[in-house]
Structure 1
Amino acid sequence: MRIVSLNAWGGRLHEPLMRYLVDVNADVLCLQEVVRTQDADAGWLVYRDHGVELPQRANLFEELKAALPAYDAFFHPVARGDLFDGDRRLFSEFGLATFVRRTHPVIAQAARFVHGDFSSDGYGPHPRSRNAHCIRLFDYRRGSPITIAHMHGLRDLEGKGDTPARRHQANALVDLIGQVRQEGDRLVVCGDFNLLPGSETFEILGRLGLIDLVTLRGHDDTRTSHYRKQPRFADYMLVTPDIEVIDFDPVAEPEVSDHRALLLDIR
């Protein structure tokens, strides 16, 4: 089974992103920063915030659905805010997307906010709301289920250190997993956590038996050349000891975001 986690960066590197997500042939895609805009005519819209303008792919979720017809698709927005087509203002939703190849049926799932709540009238003040999605699949080849969860961790303008909000976020993620996972299930947890190694989040997740493959295997960079700041940790992939890892790679090439895709092959 192949699992890929990626912060899609609003589709800013649209052409290589779409090509990669189709060609990577994953069984499960866990995507953060995905956009869906109901009334958009243009392919591109602009996010504006205090003088900063960022291009966003208007309907990245719908484009991915069309490009991945063999997958079940799930979208979980955290907020509805404004994107712009010139001077025209459009309501746009922003959040998580999960794509699961239909050969692996989803037999249980849950989503919840790990920080804040849904904002229907703007993206909200920082640190903005964040959510997580947890699915339980049946792996026909092994004849057993597996639970997979991903999260987009809160972004704190003060940095990536431990805070009470991040402690609450980690405990909320553990609670979500507990709603879906059954005793004996293998477990994979991934996403853009917006954290540094050594955060107490990993201690909290460790109570589920989870270990992080990024730091365990000596990787020190989950960013691409499009991200020019330090430190270069943001994304993580954690597994329980009963996961037989064939390969794990924070993918350096191709660059499809300012984050690297995390690619996990398991038996």
Structure 2
Amino acid sequence: MRIVSLNAWGGRLHEPLIPYLADVDADVLCLQEVVRMHDADAGWLVYRDHGVELPQRASLFEELKAALPAYDAFFLPVARGDLFDGDRRFDSEFGLATFVRRTCPVIGQAAGFVHGEFSADGYGPHPRSRNAHCIRLFDYRHVYPVTIAHMHGLRDLGGKGDTPARRHQANALVELIRQVKQDGDRLVVCGDFNVLPGSETFEILASLELIDLVTSRGHDDTRTSHYRKQPRFADYMLVTPNVEVVRFDPVAAPEVSDHRPLLLDLR
């Protein structure tokens, strides 16, 4: 089974992103920072926040669905806010997307907020709400279930250090996973956690016997050339000891975001 986790960066690198996700041959795609719109008449709109303007692919989720017809698609918004075309405003939903190849049936799932709650009228104050999605699949090829969870962790304007909110986030993620995972399941947890390697987040996730593959295998960079700051950790993928890791790679090329895709082959 192949699992890919990626912060899609609102589709900002849309041209290489779509073919990469279509061609990577993943069984499960765990995507953060995905945009969904119902009535946009432009391919690109702009997100504005305190003087910062970022291009966003207006219908990224729908474009991914079209590029991945053999997958079941799940979209889990954290908020609905404005994107702009000049002075014109468009309602936009922003959140997580999970794509699961239909040959791996979803036999259980849960979703919920690990910080805050859904905002239907704007993106809300910082640190903004965050959610997580956990699914339980059955792998027909190897005849066992696999539980997979991903989240987009809190972005705190004060940095990536530990905070009470991040502690709550990690505990909430563990509780969400416990709703889905059953004894003996292989477990994979991934996403853009927005924390540093020494975060207490990993101590809390260790209650599920999870081990991080990024740091334990000596990788020190999960960002691309489009991200020019330090430190260069943001994304993580953790597994339980019963997961046989065939391959793990923070993919450096092609660059499809300011984050690297995390690619895991397991059996």
Q: Under a length normalisation based on structure 1, what TM-score does the superposition of the two structures give?
A: 0.99
Q: Indicate yes or no: 2:118 matched with 1:147.
A: no
Which residue of 1 is the match for residue 85 of structure 2?
85
| Secondary structure, aligned partner of 2:187 | strand
CA displacement at 1:88 relative to structure 2: 0.7
CA RMSD of aligned residues (A): 0.5
CA separation in 2, counterparts of 1:52 and 1:161? 23
Query: Which runs of structure 2 are paired with 1:1-267 in the superposition (5 Å)?
Result: 1-267=1-267
CA separation in 1, counterparts of 2:236 and 2:51? 31
| Secondary structure, aligned partner of 2:194 | coil
| Secondary structure, aligned partner of 1:182 | coil
CA separation in 1, counterparts of 2:246 and 2:260? 19
CA displacement at 1:52 relative to structure 2: 1.3
- Over the matched positions of the two proteins, sequence identity in percent amounts to 87
CA separation in 2, counterparts of 1:210 and 1:19? 32
Q: Under a length normalisation based on structure 2, what TM-score does the superposition of the two structures give?
A: 0.99
CA separation in 1, counterparts of 2:49 and 2:138? 42
CA displacement at 1:87 relative to structure 2: 1.3
- Which residue identity is paired with 1:174? V
- Which residue identity is paired with 2:223? R
| Secondary structure, aligned partner of 2:197 | coil
| Secondary structure, aligned partner of 1:207 | helix
| Secondary structure, aligned partner of 2:202 | helix
- Which residue identity is paired with 1:28? V
* Residues 130-185 of structure 1: CA deviation (Å, up to 9, x unaligned): 00000000011111111000010000000111111000000000000000011110
CA displacement at 1:244 relative to structure 2: 0.3
Structure 1 stretches of 4+ with a deviation exceeding 2 A read none
CA separation in 2, counterparts of 1:169 and 1:18? 30
- Which residue identity is paired with 1:191? G
For structure 1, the residue ranges without an aligned partner over 5 or more in a row are none
CA separation in 1, counterparts of 2:227 and 2:79? 24
For structure 2, the residue ranges without an aligned partner over 5 or more in a row are none
CA displacement at 1:37 relative to structure 2: 1.1
CA displacement at 1:59 relative to structure 2: 0.5
CA displacement at 1:42 relative to structure 2: 0.5
